[in-house]
Amino acid sequence: AQSVTQLGSHVSVSEGALVLLRCNYSSSVPPYLFWYVQYPNQGLQLLLKYTTGATLVKGINGFEAEFKKSETSFHLTKPSAHMSDAAEYFCAVSDWVDTGNQFYFGTGTSLTVIP
Amino acid sequence: NAGVTQTPKFQVLKTGQSMTLQCAQDMNHNSMYWYRQDPGMGLRLIYYSASEGTTDKGEVPNGYNVSRLNKREFSLRLESAAPSQTSVYFCASSEVATRDQPQHFGDGTRLSIL
């Protein structure tokens, strides 16, 4: 089965600073990887995904992530944090099991942006 | 653009009571999912329906049942609620049940069981 590890359950950055949220995966097949963001009292919104092709993936709100097979990583970055980026971020890997696709989520990283 | 709609948004139950959580999507998606979210544990899959007429267990199915009523609707039932089922429940859908398809989430149902 696939799995995802998010290092750091809480990350704080100053407004304007680099955002780096870490995600490492375990997969027996080429992975399909996703980042989602969750704002308070809301559902998850897709930020970006990697399936095949270019290993640097650009998403919404200025976020991007790089797939590194040798490091089994898919870290999320943003060059300059904004107050509106404060949220919970989840990394996920998808897998095919018998009858359908399943997502396996990390435990999440809560991002705080300090003014 | 409604997307995935969940009802109710909040609910408080007593131990032993039953309840059905409703989910409907208007994106003509084939696959639907139910997750629970608990602090420090991320999202865990309860049940999913790859297509209309099929349902399968996920990681944590015990204590729950589901019904795929039609292509749009996928309900989750707690027959005899327990305090351990206090959680936030999310419904999601995807166009098809393939690995490259993202899932689209509703805003959740916050359920407390006393």
CA pseudo-torsion sign B57, B58, B64, B69? negative
Query: Distance (Å, rounded) from C-alpha A100 to C-alpha B44?
Result: 16
- For residue A99, the model assigns a pLDDT of 61
- For residue A30, the model assigns a pLDDT of 80
Does B42 sit within 8 Å of A41, measured CB to CB?
no
The stretches in chain B having pLDDT less than 50 are none
* Binding-face residues of A in 29-68 toward B, CB within 8 A: 32, 34, 36, 41-46, 49, 51
Residue of B21, B29, B89, B99 to mutate, testing the A interface (most A Cβ within 10 Å of its Cβ): B99
Does A45 sit within 8 Å of B105, measured CB to CB?
yes
- For residue B19, the model assigns a pLDDT of 96
Does B100 sit within 8 Å of A34, measured CB to CB?
no
Query: pLDDT by residue for chain A (115 residues), tens digit each?
Result: 678 999 999 999 999 999 999 999 988 778 899 999 999 888 999 999 998 888 899 999 999 999 999 999 999 999 999 999 999 999 999 877 666 678 889 999 999 999 9
Tell me the two tokens of residue A83. Answer: 């107050």
3-state secondary structure chain A: CCEEECCCCEEEEECCCCEEECCEEECCCCCEEEEEEECCCCCEEEEEEECCCCCEEECHHHCEEEEECCCCEEEEEECCCCHHHCEEEEEEEEEEECCEEEEEECCCEEEEEEC
Query: Rounded to 5 degrees, what are φ and ψ at A83?
Result: -55, -35
Candidates A5, A47, A51, A56; CA nearest to A30 is A51
